[in-house]
Amino acid sequence: MEVTPEYMNKFRNMGGFDMIRSGRHKIETPEQFAASLKNATALDLDGLIVIGGDDSNTNACLLAEYFAKHNAKCKVIGAPKTIDGDLRNEHI
């Protein structure tokens, strides 16, 4: 999709999450985990890559465990990346 000035103006001063269809929601309830598995299965996903900071990667870990417990075809991978600086790169 081409990001035009007209499209960009719809999201100006909103922080960016709406434009990239991202959010800060956590998957916590049994119903949310079941819905995630149902959607991944319905979409016939082989894998799901979660890119984000510590909260996102916690969700990735929990989803991976849930999917594995339920013998899901879809594998979940967490990739560290952050926009708010909550992931540190320490050199020893």
Q: Which residues neighbour 23 within 8 Å (Cβ) at sequence distance 6 or greater?
A: 17
- Asked if the model's pLDDT at residue 84 lies above 70, the reply is no
Position of tokens 């100006």? 12
Spatial CA neighbour of 50 closest among 84, 23, 14: 23
Confidence label for 92 from pLDDT (cuts 50, 70 and 90): very low
In this predicted model, what pLDDT tens digit does every residue of 42-53 receive, in sequence order? Answer: 999 999 998 888
Mean pLDDT of the 2-8 span: 84
Q: Is residue 11 one of the residues assigned to a domain?
A: no
Q: Would you say residue 61 lies in a domain?
A: yes
One DSSP character per residue, 29-89 reads SHHHHHHHHHHHHHTT-SEEEEEESHHHHHHHHHHHHHHHHTT-S-EEEEEE--SSS-S--
**Which residues are known catalytic residues?**
84
Q: Is the pLDDT of residue 6 over 70?
A: yes
> What is the tally of structural domains in the chain?
1
Q: Is residue 45 domain-resident?
A: yes
**Is it the case that residue 73 has pLDDT exceeding 80?**
yes
